[in-house]
Structure formats: structure tokens, C-alpha cells
Amino acid sequence: MNEIKAFAATSAESGMAPTTISRRVLRPDDVAVDIEYCGVCHTDIHFARNDWGMTRYPVVPGHEIVGRVTAVGTDVTGFRPGDRVGVGCLVDSCRQCAPCGEGLEQYCREGPTLTYNGEDRHDQSPTFGGYSEAIVVSDRFVLRIPEALDPAAAAPLLCAGITTYSPLRHFGVRPGHKVGVIGMGGLGHMGVKFARAMGAEVTLFTRSPGKVAEAEKQGAHKVVISTDEEQMAAVAGTFDFLLDTVPVQHDLNPYIEALSYDGTMILVGLLDSVEPPLDAGGLVFQRRALVGSLIGGLPETQEMLDFCAEHDIACDIEMLDIGEINAAYERVMQGDVKYRFVIDMQTLAAQ
């Protein structure tokens, strides 16, 4: 075991603070990575504060990890020291079930092993995330970061990026399609960029008139103020796809009505119950579909990174000293970041 510096929460009320954790000695298929950058995801806050009632303390968040390989196990042939790599939301899965066989490890029948707040499948030790100096991961769950990508801006692609890319690619968004993106946060701005790069006509739905210029800057062709009944009525029945990135309860019915027949609404932000209730007639009478999507498997995540390099796509970020992480959490809760924080992990050395 190797002892390294990290930041952890020890209770729902503790906040994040410096600590020391252990990383395992390399197994034959392992890759050791010195962490350069780690994105801050809203999920990190949920786990740190036990919002979902499943946190195992101490918890070291961080599943948007970019760094350099420092060592590899004896069976590893695809990576070597010095390579710039990424680690996303998953670090293992059963590797035997049908989803795993298709490269859809996020849907592993046994449940994938999360990068943090998980349990190692071999020795049952807790998994600790990217708010740390280094990480050790099986080579199957390590991604190549293309040299064309800025490594700091690439970090959030490993969660926010793949969460929005995966459903757009899976459902076949292509030139000629009309895509609406609901919400203009960390997920939403990536959804706009991807849909635009895939050739779709992109419309942003937002409650805030103040986001019109920003949406156009990100690549949206049009903006609809969702609280304006006239604007919503004008787009009824027009969209092939809607990507809903809003993470809190909201009325889905007006957006369902914005879909064309055979249109599909994709939920990537909402993990709670649907309130108010869904009017099923809005689906049935136009053969519309309401679906959900969760991150992406490893092959698709690598495809997404390569797509970003080809199309010059990156997440809009604000760099962060890790000593500012508790203040950053409060700013995330207030929506005061455009659009993702990324921690410069070199600042951990001073803690």
C-alpha cells in the first residue's frame, strides 16, 4: 500500500478536509496515474453530504480525472509511463454480463464499481476518487486523452461530456434533426455543443431570458423561454429529440408537447420522481418516447473524447485550488459557475 494525500468528507456535516489514504500495489492489469486535474461534479456534493443516504465515510469524491501514467502492471500493453489518461465514473464491473460484453459497463447487471464510494471487487476495500494525488485503476477502465484536448478542460468530459454525448449518439442524432436542450448548466452547455457538432438544429430551453446570448455563444441556433406560453406554443410538435438536463423536479408535460410524433425525450438530469404527474396521453397519441440515459461505457467514452478532439469541443471551466473546495461546493449549489469547476491537483501538495 502507498500512502498519499487526499481531501475527504468524514460526515455529512464535516465539509471537505485534508486526509491521507492508501492506494494498492499494482495488480497485473493495473495502471498507476498521478492526477493532474479533477473536475467537480454535483454528484460529488451529493455524496459528500449524504443527500442520497448511501455515503460510506470517509468519502474522497472525484470521477473526472486526468493525469499521467507513472507505472503499469505486468499484463498491461496498452499504456506506458508518460501517457496522458483519464478515469471517469467507473473503475470496474463484473465484465461477464451482457451489458459488459457490449462495452456498456454502466449498466452492469451486478452493478459497476464506482470510482468513489464503491467497493473493490477483489479485496472489498473502499474506492477513493480523484481528490487525491494518485489513483490505481484496471487498464480496462483507463481512457486515452487525445493530445489535441486541453487536459484541464477535458476532465469534465468524463462525466458531463459522456452523459450528454451518449444518448445523442445512441438515438442517432444527425443532420436534419431538431434537438432541444433543456437547461443551460454543466450538462446543458455540453448537450448544445454535441448536438450542434452532430449537425442538428439546436434549440435551448431556459427559464432565464438572460441566458439567450450565452446559449447562442455555445452554439444554439434558437432559444425558447420555457416560462413564456406563447413561445412554447409556437414550438409544439416540432422536435425530434429533447435532452432534459435539469436535475430537480419540474413539469415534463409542456416539453412532451414540444416533441414531434415519434419524438424522444431523454432524461439525464432528473433522478427523482416526476412531479407533477406525467400525462400519458401526450405520449400515447403521438407515439412519443420518454427515456433515460446514464453516462456511457468505456468504448463510447473513448469515442466521445476522440470526437471532442476532432471537433474542438471542451467543457467551459473555472480552475480551482483544492483548498477552495468547500466554497466551490456552495457556489455550485447556487448555480454560480460557468460551467464546471476543475481542481488543479498540484495545489494538493500545499495542504
Entry pTM: 0.96
Residue ranges of domains in the chain, CATH in brackets: 2-159+296-350 (3.90.180.10), 162-292 (3.40.50.720)
Confidence of residue 272 (pLDDT cuts 50, 70, 90): confident
The predicted model gives 330-335 an average pLDDT of: 94
Per-residue pLDDT reduced to its tens digit, 33-49: 999 999 999 999 999 99
Per-residue pLDDT reduced to its tens digit, 128-182: 999 999 999 999 999 999 999 999 999 999 999 999 999 999 999 999 999 999 9
Per-residue pLDDT reduced to its tens digit, 236-270: 999 999 999 999 999 999 999 999 999 999 999 98
Confidence of residue 193 (pLDDT cuts 50, 70, 90): very high
Question: Which own/partner pairs from 307-313 qualify as long-range (CB within 8 Å, at least 24 positions apart)?
Answer: 307/165, 307/194, 307/197, 308/146, 308/149, 308/154, 308/157, 308/161, 309/146, 309/147, 309/148, 309/149, 311/197, 312/148, 313/190, 313/193, 313/194, 313/197
